[in-house]
Every structure is written in structure tokens, then in C-alpha cells.
Amino acid sequence: MRPSKYLAAGVALAAALVAGGALAQAKEQFVPANGYWVGPYAPGGSGFFGGMLDYFLLLNERDGGINGVKLTWEKCETEYNNARGVECYERSKNKGPTGATVVHPLSTGITYSLIDKASADKIPLISMGYGRTDAADGRVFPYVFPLITTYWSQNTAKIKFIGMREGGMDKLKGKKIVNLYHDSAYGKETIPVLDVQAKKYGFQVTHIPVPHPGNEQQSQWLQIRQIRPDWVILRGWGVMNPTAIKAAQRVGFPRNKMLGVWWSGAEEDVIPAGDAAKGYIAAGFNLPGTSFPVVQGILKEVYGKGKGEMEDRSRIGSIYYTRGLVAGIVTAEAIRTAQERFGKGKPITGEQMRWGIENLNIDEKRLKELGAVGLMQPLKVSCMDHEGGGAVKFLQWDGAKWNVITDWIASDQSIVRPMIEESAAKYAKEKGITPRDCKS
Amino acid sequence: MAGPVSFFFEVLFSGLLAGVMYSLVALGFVLIYKASGVFNFAQGAMVFFAALTFVSLVERGVNFWLAMAITLAVMILLGILTERVVLRPLINQPPITLFMATIGLTFFLEGLSQGIWGAQPHGLDIGIRDEPMEWLADRTGMFLSQFDLFASGIAAVLVTVLALFFQRTRIGRALRAVADDHQAALAVGIPLKHIWAIVWAVAGFVALVAGLLWGARTGVQYALTFVALKALPVLILGGFESIAGAIVGGLIIGASEKLAEVYLGPYVGGGIESWFPYVLALAFLLFRPEGLFGEKHIDRV
């Protein structure tokens, strides 16, 4: 061959490699797994991302991805730390053929830190059951999705539950409720909505903070004993939860009158408290168990092939694990929705994903197809409503497992929505954001 | 319902008993400080490591006492290894160097614990119910937990044994000599390496006891490392070198933080007990920089 022929052949080969590489890349959808697998909050992080990534593995193994587009991910350890969460975000945002599709920060603090950045980068944030409540107003927060149930919605469902237990909402008048909260932005988030409800229903609410990390609560529970409340709402995180349950036992407060938020309602929150946790009740937007067909599918298609994220298989089906599973389902269904609009079998961009989440509609029929009936509630998101569900079930710990004790209890949107819109409008004014017109 | 006076005493006694729990952690710091003049940053990690090792063994079917013995052996081994690998190369270095080494040891121990046993929280039942004593509640209206009294008893035994060890034994006196001056102690024939290994092993034992009692209350999980934060103001107040100081400091801190939280907290939004002990300890430093029972250092200039 003459030198020019070598050159031509080389160029052709290089072109083929580049094209081939691009084609191979083009069939991948990158979703960062920025979570935490070590440190004090590792049980939550490892369970959640275990469930989410196992679902992605199931789709890849069983279906060859979503319409042929394989899901890919990379883990980045945030240690539940805001600065590291931002660092992981920056590191992951340009990976994959179309950059980061969506980010699950799994931390209210990291979510707050990323709202401006992600909105500017056109990468959606899903803060499922945490994060900024007023982001449910999609007109002001187009890229933020506090999906399924926000803290405020959950809180109104809790008061409804207490009303049901007391024999009617009118029976709440004169009752005493203590809100025992983690002294942080996360902990304080529900104070306003509780105050509004206290006024509406005539109960008395006392907010008692517990300083981080919450491993000593004697003085708080002595105050609670003085107040003699009818109910204690526990808004804890990490070690604060079992400590609170144990401290309740120490002052003789009945555990079946303690109502935890879903971050106080996992196996990891009650097992360390031992027998003291028997009868304790917590809210949930995902239910535990391994009997769901989707979990069975994971056991067969993923773990059956020697793959899977969970080293400790006994954790499959736990609360944190199924919460991650729900996150995986929501993420994959949004990608599927976006593909239907922007091209099946092609990776989507963050901007297209935003559309996919905003037009997500997981009804009962779809839940059945997914093998997730009972695992989660139906979800319909819109431009106006970035929450999409709002209902809550309550679970009670019997010393060995969580038992579901209610049906889905709808939140009181007549209280929550005006508060969301007022707060979002205030944020829009502060930031100079012109809210979108959702009618157009 | 308890009256205001009875409630005041309930808060006070609860605080004193909580203080004993802080003292248990503080004791580990005091031991190391007495023997090497080093603030051992890794004490919290040692508490976590000991409790996690113990509970993991029990969950794997090992008998309670055997698990205790194995964990103690592991802690002694850890003490010897710490001396051999971390401290021996740093003999006669400034205290800040040794302190930095203990920071490294902290990260190592935290990672090692989770690497071996996993990051999941565990429940720990040591057979003492954490419930109010009914006979006391019936007679006085005060709810005090029998677990707290048990912890106080354990602390009392520990302090007595350690005080006797330091005051009455040759090793105890040697430890105090080593703390004063490494080189001088070596010069008069005190086997520094052995002394350090012994004291780290004893600190490991104290960490195990603290880990079991704290772990029974909060569950055995990573957050056990945070109990060290509760020991710091106790040490500042009681003095870094005094076993009696650790106990008295713990009692003062425990009682004052509970009284402050209950009686002052509501006026300032609550949640003050995380910083109140530090403010108290700092205020105390103004009057007695060496702490209540600390040794006064007179330096020639």
C-alpha cells in the first residue's frame, strides 16, 4: 500500500471506531447514584440506592434496558454532607452520552444546595419524600420534583390519622400533641403546617427540638412527661429515632401514641430500640415486603444471576430498599415517558427528562404491569403539581416487622396547597423568577 | 402528676445519672491522657468498634460472656497494635503530633468497624430494663430508670478500680511518670512501650463498657462515635488527668445541661443542651484553666 492509502485506511478505521463508539454510547442512559454507603446514615443510603440500582439491573437484565437503552450509573459517596453532595453532582453532571439524566440527592440539605445549579444545568432533581416542600409548585420550580408526598402533605395525613384514632376530627379539640423534631432545617420543616392545623382543629401543639445527633433525650422526655400529651409526633433522623423510642419507654409514654415521619419509620429505626419499639407507628409512602412481583423479579433475574447491590440479602424488601425501588420505578417510567415523546430507543437529555417526569402517569393498570401494586400509590404529575400523589399509609411495628394498619390516607390539600403556593411565590419574588404559565 | 419540686428533683437526678454515662466515656480519654499526655481523638471510634464487635459476635450465636471476653481480647490487641504501629515511632514527639496520629486512628477504626461488620444498626439487650422504677414512682412521683442506676454502679466500680490502679500499683505510678515526661521516664528505666500498650488496652476495656451501656440505650450504630462529644466538656471541667474529675465533671455537666434545657430552653427556643455544657466548661476555664481536679503546671520561663 502506498502511504496515502495507509492514511485513508487509518482515517476510515478511526471514523468507524468513533462512529461505533458513538453508537454504543448512544444506547446508554446515565443516572448518577450520588448517595451514602458509609457513616452514620449509611443504612438509609445503602438501602435506598440498593433498591434503585437493583431495579435498573432488573430492567437491563430482563428487558435489555428501556426500549433497548441500557441504564448506566456511577456511585459517588456524599456521606450525607452538603459540600460532598455538590461535588458529586458536579462530577457526575456531564457523564454518559447525554449527561446526568436526573439526580436523587437523598438529603434535604443537598437538595437545597443543588436547586439553583441543577435548574441552570437543566438537570431535574427528584426529592421523593424529602427536600423543599414548596417545590411542589412546578411553576416556580420547573426542575425540582418532591414526588409522591411532601412533608406538609404527610403531616396533614398524620393529623387525619390521629383524628381517626380519636373518633373524629372534632375530637381533636383540646387534645395535646408534641412535635419532637430534629433541630435542623429538615426537622423544622413541618412546624408551620402543624401550627395551621392546631388552629383549625383546636388542638394544642408544643414543638420540642432535639439537638443533633439526638443520642441523649432525657430532658426532652421529661418535658413531654410534664405536658402529658395525647400524641407525640416524632420527626427524627438516624440515632435520634431509637433513642426517642427508648426514652419514651423510660418515662412510660405509650409507643402506640407515637407517630413517626417516614425517616423515622424504617427497620433501622426500631430494631436498635428492641422491645421498646413494639406498638410504635410510622408513616410511609412505600411499603415493605418481598412478595411484590417486582421484588420477585429482582431476586430471580438479578440475584439469581449472581448480581445485585445488597450484600446482606435479608435487607431486600426492607423499608429503605423498597423506597429505592419506588425511586427506580419512577425514574425509569419518566425516562420511558420522555422516550415516547422524544424518540423511542434513544437516550434523553435532562431537559427531556424534566418533561418526562412532569408528564408521568403511573396508574393502577401500569402499577400492575410493573408488579408494584401495593408497593406505592398511583402517581400523576403535572406542571402545577410536582408532588403527584400525596397519600400516606401508616405502619405499626410488632417487634419483628412492620404491619400496615391503614389504607392510603389522602392529605389535606386545602391546607397544604395554599401554603405551598404562598411559599413558592415568596421564593420566586426573592429570586426574581417569573412563574411559568401551566395553562399554555 | 409530679409537683414542681418533685419535678425539679427528677430533672436533677436524671441529669446526674446522664452525667455518669458521659463520665464513662470521659474515663477513656483520661486514661490515655494520664499516660501519654495525648488527647485521644479515637476514643469515640473505640467505643463504636468495641460495641459493634461485641454485638456482632452475640448475633452470630456467641455466648454473652464469651463475646465479652473475645471483644476484650480484641481491644487489648488493638491497644498493643496501636502502641507498636502508631505510637512507638512517635516517642518524644510533641503532643500535637500524637494527637494528629489519633485522628488518623479514628478514621481507620471507623472504616475497619464498618468494613468488617457492616454499617447496619443493631439492637443490644444487656438484660437490664430501661424502664422507670415503679416503687420509686409510686412513692415520690419521680420516674428514674433502673438502667441508669445500674450504669452508675458500673461507673462507681470502674472508678474505684482505676483509682486504686493508678495510686497503689507500680504500673500506675509509672504511668503518671510517663505522662510527665517521656524521656525522663525512659531514663529512669520505665518501659514506656509496655506502659503505653497496657494503658491503651485498659482504655479499650473502658471503651467496651461505655459502648455496651450506650449501645443498650441508643442501639449499636455509627452514631456511638458521637458520644465523645458529650465527654469533651466533662474533661474540660473535670480536668484531663483526673479520674475523680471525670466523674464529678460528668455529674456537673449532666445536671446543669438538663436543668438548663428544661428550665431555660423553652425561653430561647429549646435545643440548648448541645452547646450549654461547652459554654459552662469555657466559663469554668476562666477561673480554673486546669479544670477542677487537673494538675497545675508551673513552667519556668
The answer for B 51-110 residues in CB contact with A (under 8 A) is none
A268: Cβ–Cβ under 8 A, 6 or more apart, which residues? Answer: A43, A44, A47, A318, A320, B120, B121
**The pLDDT of residue B36:** 75
Mean pLDDT of A5-19: 54
Mean pLDDT of A369-384: 96
**The pLDDT of residue A77:** 95
Q: Are the Cβ atoms of A37 and B119 closer than 8 angstroms?
A: yes
Query: Looking at CA atoms only, how far is residue B196 from chain A in angstroms?
Result: 30
Give the largest Cα separation in chain B, rounded: 65
Q: How many whole angstroms separate alpha carbon A148 and alpha carbon B30?
A: 51
Hey, is the C-beta of A218 within 8 angstroms of any chain B C-beta? yes
Q: How many whole angstroms separate alpha carbon A191 and alpha carbon A186?
A: 10
Closest by Cβ to B261, choosing from A43, A219, A315: A219
Tell whether the model's pLDDT for residue A23 goes beyond 50.
no
Query: Looking at CA atoms only, how far is residue B58 from chain A in angstroms?
Result: 14
Helix, strand and coil content of chain A, in percent to the nearest 5, comes to 50, 15, 35
Hey, is the C-beta of B230 within 8 angstroms of any chain A C-beta? yes
Give the residue from A97, A103, A72, A84 showing the smallest Cα distance to A37: A84
**The pLDDT of residue B87:** 83
Tell whether the model's pLDDT for residue A16 goes beyond 70.
no
Q: Are the Cβ atoms of A42 and B14 closer than 8 angstroms?
A: no
**The pLDDT of residue A21:** 45
B270: Cβ–Cβ under 8 A, 6 or more apart, which residues? Answer: A183, A207, A208, A209, B261
B192: Cβ–Cβ under 8 A, 6 or more apart, which residues? Answer: B91, B178, B182, B185, B186
**The pLDDT of residue A22:** 46
The three-state secondary structure class of A416 is helix
Q: Are the Cβ atoms of A225 and B143 closer than 8 angstroms?
A: yes
Cis peptide before A213 (omega within 30 of 0): yes
The domains of chain B are located at: 4-121+151-287
Report the half-sphere exposure of B256 (CA within 13 A, side-chain side): 18
**The pLDDT of residue B296:** 67
Hey, is the C-beta of B114 within 8 angstroms of any chain A C-beta? yes
Q: Residue B119: which pLDDT band, with cuts at 50, 70 and 90?
A: confident
Tell whether the model's pLDDT for residue A9 goes beyond 60.
no
**The pLDDT of residue A140:** 97
Q: Residue A14: which pLDDT band, with cuts at 50, 70 and 90?
A: low
Report the percentage of chain B scoring pLDDT > 70.
97
Query: Looking at CA atoms only, how far is residue A368 from chain B in angstroms?
Result: 32
Distance, first Cα to last Cα, chain A: 63
In terms of DSSP H, where are the helices of B169-225? 170-180, 182-187, 192-218
A351: Cβ–Cβ under 8 A, 6 or more apart, which residues? Answer: A122
Query: Could you please report the per-residue DSSP string of A93-135?
Result: TT-STT----B---SHHHHHHHHHHHHHHT--EE-TTSS-GGG
Hey, is the C-beta of A37 within 8 angstroms of any chain B C-beta? yes
pLDDT tens string A238-293: 899 999 999 999 888 999 999 999 999 999 999 999 999 999 999 999 999 999 99
User: CATH 3.40.50.2300: which residues of chain A?
Assistant: 28-149+289-390+418-431, 152-284
Query: Looking at CA atoms only, how far is residue A181 from chain B in angstroms?
Result: 10
Q: Are the Cβ atoms of A251 and B132 closer than 8 angstroms?
A: yes
Give buried/exposed letters for A100-133 (b at 16+ CB in 10 A, else e).
bbbbbbbbbbbbbbbbebbbebbbbbbbbbbbbb
Report the percentage of chain B scoring pLDDT > 90.
37
Top-tier CATH class for B4-121+151-287:
mainly alpha
Report the percentage of chain A scoring pLDDT > 70.
94
pLDDT tens string B234-266: 998 888 888 888 999 999 999 999 999 999 988
Q: C-alpha angle A238/B112/A314, rounded to 5°?
A: 55
A333: Cβ–Cβ under 8 A, 6 or more apart, which residues? Answer: A360, A362, A366, A370
In terms of pLDDT, which residue wins out, A313 or B166? A313
Of A326-335, A351-360, B103-112, B159-168, minimum mean pLDDT range: B159-168
Of A259-268, A354-363, B138-147, B278-287, minimum mean pLDDT range: B138-147
Q: Are the Cβ atoms of A37 and B258 closer than 8 angstroms?
A: no
Q: Please, what sign has the CA dihedral across residues A160, A164, A168, A172?
A: negative
Hey, is the C-beta of B274 within 8 angstroms of any chain A C-beta? yes
**The pLDDT of residue A335:** 98
A89: Cβ–Cβ under 8 A, 6 or more apart, which residues? Answer: A32, A34, A100, A103, A105, A110, A114, A117, A118
Hey, is the C-beta of B217 within 8 angstroms of any chain A C-beta? yes
**The pLDDT of residue B190:** 83
Hey, is the C-beta of A271 within 8 angstroms of any chain B C-beta? yes
Q: How many beta-carbon contacts under 8 Å exist across A and B?
A: 133
Hey, is the C-beta of B289 within 8 angstroms of any chain A C-beta? no
Superfamily of domain A152-284: Response regulator (3.40.50.2300)
In terms of pLDDT, which residue wins out, B195 or A264? A264
Q: How many residues does chain B have?
A: 301
With CA atoms as reference, the chain A residue closest to B8 would be A222
pLDDT tens string B137-158: 888 778 888 888 898 899 889 8
What is the reported pTM? 0.88
Q: Residue A178: which pLDDT band, with cuts at 50, 70 and 90?
A: very high
Residue-averaged pLDDT of chain B = 87
Q: Residue B301: which pLDDT band, with cuts at 50, 70 and 90?
A: low
Strands A204-210 and A231-235 turn out to be unpaired
Identify all chain A residues contacting B145, using CB atoms and an 8 Å cutoff: 250
Identify all chain B residues contacting A266, using CB atoms and an 8 Å cutoff: none
Contact present, A286 and A319 (Cβ < 8 Å): yes
Q: Are the Cβ atoms of A215 and B214 closer than 8 angstroms?
A: yes
Tell whether the model's pLDDT for residue A24 goes beyond 70.
no
Residue-averaged pLDDT of chain A = 92
Q: How many residues does chain A have?
A: 440
Tell whether the model's pLDDT for residue A414 goes beyond 80.
yes
Give B271-275 contacts, CB < 8 A, sequence gap 24+. Answer: B271/A183, B271/A209, B271/A210, B271/A211, B272/A211, B273/A211, B273/A216, B273/A219, B274/A183, B274/A211, B274/A212, B275/A211
Query: Looking at CA atoms only, how far is residue B119 from chain A in angstroms?
Result: 6
Query: Looking at CA atoms only, how far is residue B271 from chain A in angstroms?
Result: 5
Identify all chain B residues contacting A272, using CB atoms and an 8 Å cutoff: 121-124, 218-221
Tell whether the model's pLDDT for residue B20 goes beyond 60.
yes
Of A29-43, B135-149, B275-289, minimum mean pLDDT range: B135-149
**The pLDDT of residue B192:** 79
Q: Are the Cβ atoms of B132 and A208 closer than 8 angstroms?
A: no
Hey, is the C-beta of B278 within 8 angstroms of any chain A C-beta? no
**The pLDDT of residue B189:** 84
Give buried/exposed letters for A353-374 (b at 16+ CB in 10 A, else e).
bbbbbbbbebeeebbeebbbbe
Hey, is the C-beta of A254 within 8 angstroms of any chain B C-beta? no
**The pLDDT of residue A4:** 54
User: ipTM for the complex?
Assistant: 0.86
Of A12-16, A142-146, A375-379, B17-21, minimum mean pLDDT range: A12-16
DSSP category for residue A377: -
Question: H or E element: which one contains A231?
Answer: strand A231-235
Hey, is the C-beta of B111 within 8 angstroms of any chain A C-beta? yes
Q: C-alpha angle B292/B295/B300, rounded to 5°?
A: 135
Q: Which CATH number fits domain A28-149+289-390+418-431: 2.30.30.100, 3.50.30.50, 3.40.50.2300, 3.50.50.60?
A: 3.40.50.2300
Q: Are the Cβ atoms of A42 and B222 closer than 8 angstroms?
A: yes
The answer for A 381-410 residues in CB contact with B (under 8 A) is none
Q: How many whole angstroms separate alpha carbon A229 and alpha carbon A227?
A: 6
